[in-house]
Amino acid sequence: MELSEQEDMRKFHYHTLKLYCALCALGNTRVAHALCSHVDQSQLLYTIDNQYLSGMLREGFYNVLISIHLETAKEARLMMKDEFIIPVTAETRSIRLFSSASKKHSPPGVGLSTSLKPRLNFTPPCFISTKRDYLYSPQIPLDALKEKAISMLTEAVQGGGHHIRDPVGGGVEYQFVPILKLISTLLTMGVLGSEDVQKILLLIDPNVFRDMREEGVTGPTDKEGLTGTEGKAVEAGEEEAAKEAKQPMKGLLEKRLPEPVKRLMCELLHYFCDCELKHRIEAIVSFSDSFVSKLQCNQKFRYNELMLALNMSAAVTAKKTKEFRSPPQEQVKHSHS
């Protein structure tokens, strides 16, 4: 309450948080460990979940959390964003361009991926030490942070918008920007699994990313076309509740958003485009491995047939075995012909 009434004090604390972020820049994990003695995990996890914090401080604490604990791992992943090191394993061979026989693309970022990425390395917070214990970022419970982030984004999408009188943080920008920045960081780090990514996609635009299995599952309906829940609401005289049950939830792309939120939404969609590109490259590697394997089996079969043939002259044998003595590109042409 005191900070909300004193703007100068609020700006002072906000700039102090910005200073903490600047000190942790460029992988300065030594300072990050030292700052854990000033702002520990319990304080950060409490402040990011506090709905009554002013917008500037809310954004500042989110940025401090990302800078101290997550920024180094995020930057390591971003450095390899355009590199695709794909081991040819049984898992890679099982990847297909389409998830089913209907030849419909699966949602981006959902499903198996075998591209090699930097590991997530953390160490327990170490405030004062003479040893070199600052190679990795301070540890933070990623599972708890992931659950908090998805829960807060769900609450913001379901109950946020310009029509709300007192939104979290005092404005739509401060309500969505910090949590979207945290979600984007966790996605880049690879912390979120397929189910978590599916939830986020449904919050972005449920009409586009709705799972086909969910579309096929409907509750029992009566003669008027209402579901059981809506029928009970009508019988109880709650017609407004029945209308709300009919209306689908609006996703982020369907809301009226300020420019900073739109920019973060573009970054999120850009990440999912990268996921789709990575999936297609992995599918090409999987198909190429299977295709080349079949070509080699066919080539070996024909070579064995030639070696078993005893009635061919040396000239005919040389002509027929020319394919196997040629460069790979020529061998592929002979295989097709």
The helix (run of H) or strand (run of E) holding residue 137 is strand 137-138
One-letter amino acid of 153: L
Instruction: Give pLDDT, residue 64.
Output: 95
Instruction: Give pLDDT, residue 153.
Output: 93
Instruction: Give pLDDT, residue 209.
Output: 85
**182-198 b/e with 16+ CB inside 10 Å = b?**
bbbbbbbbbbbeeebbb
Structure tokens at 116: 């090699």
Angstrom CA distances, 159 to 8, 165, 172, 176, stand at 31, 11, 11, 11
Do residues 136 and 121 lie in contact, with contact meaning Cβ atoms separated by under 8 Å? yes
What is this structure's pTM? 0.81
Residue located via tokens 């460990």: 33
Report the candidate in 83, 67, 81 with the shortest Cα–Cα distance to residue 271.
Answer: 81
Separation between Cα atoms, residue 270 and residue 263, nearest integer Å: 11
Separation between Cα atoms, residue 288 and residue 116, nearest integer Å: 19
Which residues in the chain come in under a pLDDT of 50? 212-213, 215-227, 229-230, 232-234, 236, 241-246
Instruction: Give pLDDT, residue 244.
Output: 46
Q: With 0-12 CB in 10 A as exposed, 13-18 as middle and 19+ as buried, what is 173?
A: middle
Report the candidate in 164, 140, 269, 250 with the shortest Cα–Cα distance to residue 202.
Answer: 250
Separation between Cα atoms, residue 254 and residue 61, nearest integer Å: 28
